[in-house]
Amino acid sequence: GGIITQTPKFLIGQEGQKLTLKCQQNFNHDTMYWYRQDSGKGLRLIYYSITENDLQKGDLSEGYDASREKKSSFSLTVTSAQKNEMAVFLCASSNRRGATQYFGPGTRLLVL
Amino acid sequence: GDSVTQTEGLVTLTEGLPVMLNCTYQSTYSPFLFWYVQHLNEAPKLLLKSFTDNKRPEHQGFHATLHKSSSSFHLQKSSAQLSDSALYYCALSAYNAGAKLTFGGGTRLTVRP
C-alpha cells in the first residue's frame, strides 16, 4: 500500500497573496494531479504531471502554477489569491490508463 | 472532447430503498468507466470500475453495468444504508488520455432512517 500526504491541511491567505500547497506520494506512481473541489462543481483538473519535471495544463490552470520537483512530490501555487475564495484542493496519483487514482486528504483554502 | 454527465446533483432516499445514480458519457473510443465515493471529510476513493469483457463490477453491494449502446454506467444498489450517504463521482479514462480521468459533476446521496 501507499499514502498521499498534503500540506498544509488548512491554509488561510490574504487577497493577492501567493500561496503554495505541497503533495507527497509513496506509491512510486508516475502521474500526479491537482484538482480543485467546489461545492456543486465536482472535481476540476488544474495541472497534472506524467513524470518528473513534466507539466500538463488541465481545464482550470489559469491563476495557478505547478512544479514536479521529483517523482514523489508535486507542488501547486496559487499565484494571486482571490478575496473570499474558498475551496478544497486535492492531490492524486496513478499509473497506467485504467488504473485507480489515489487521493490525498486535501488542503482547505480560505482567502480573507 | 470527452465528458461525463451526472444528471442528479442531490438524491435523498429512505433506508432500505433501492439506489440508482445516473452516469452517461461521451468519448470517441471505448473508455474505462469508474465510480468514486467521497464520505464527509474524507478523500475520494475508488468504488468500482468497468471491465473490458462486459463483466459487472460489484463492491460493497454496489454494482454498475457499462452499456456502450447508450453510453451509460449507472450505479445501483438494491437496498440503501445510512452509511451510503456520500458524494459519488462518475469518471472516464479516455483511450488517448493516458492515466488522466474526466469526472462528472458528482451526486450527493443522503440516506435517511
The Cα–Cα gap between B6 and B42 comes to: 21
Say if B106 falls within a structural domain. no
- For residue B103, the cross-strand partners are B91
CATH number of residue B9's parent domain: 2.60.40.10
The Cα–Cα gap between A58 and A33 comes to: 9
Chain A: closest CA distance from residue B73 (Å): 15
Q: Where are the beta strands (DSSP E) in chain A?
A: 4-7, 10-13, 19-25, 31-37, 43-49, 56-57, 64-70, 73-78, 86-94, 102-103, 107-111
Interface membership of A107 toward B (CB under 8 Å): no
Say whether A56 sits in a helix, a strand or coil: strand
| Contact flag A97-B89 (C-beta cutoff 8 Å) | no
Domain count for chain B: 1
B81 alpha carbon, distance to own chain's centre: 17
pLDDT tens digits along B7-41: 999 999 999 999 999 999 998 877 889 999 999 98
Say if B113 falls within a structural domain. no
| Contact flag B99-A43 (C-beta cutoff 8 Å) | no
Say if B47 falls within a structural domain. yes
**Tens-level pLDDT at each residue, chain A (112 residues):** 899 999 999 999 999 999 999 999 999 999 999 999 987 678 999 999 999 999 999 989 999 999 998 999 999 999 999 988 889 999 999 987 778 899 999 999 999 8
Cβ-Cβ contacts under 8 Å for B113 (sequence gap 6 or more): B14, B15, B82
For the record, the C-alpha cell of B11 comes out as 438524491
Say if B111 falls within a structural domain. no
Domain boundaries, position B25: 3-96
The Cα–Cα gap between B63 and B18 comes to: 12
Say if B11 falls within a structural domain. yes
| Contact flag A101-B101 (C-beta cutoff 8 Å) | yes
Q: Which residues of B touch A41 (CB under 8 A)?
A: 105
CATH architecture classification, A4-111: Sandwich (2.60)
The Cα–Cα gap between B56 and B75 comes to: 11
CB A10 within 8 A of CB A18: no
DSSP class of residue B42 equals S
For the record, the C-alpha cell of B14 comes out as 429512505
In this structure, which amino acid lies at residue B29?
Y
Say if B50 falls within a structural domain. yes
Q: Enumerate the domain spans of chain A.
A: 4-111
Length of chain B: 113
The pLDDT score that the predictor gives to residue B53 is 58
pLDDT tens digits along B65-88: 888 889 999 999 999 999 999 999
Chain A: closest CA distance from residue B57 (Å): 14
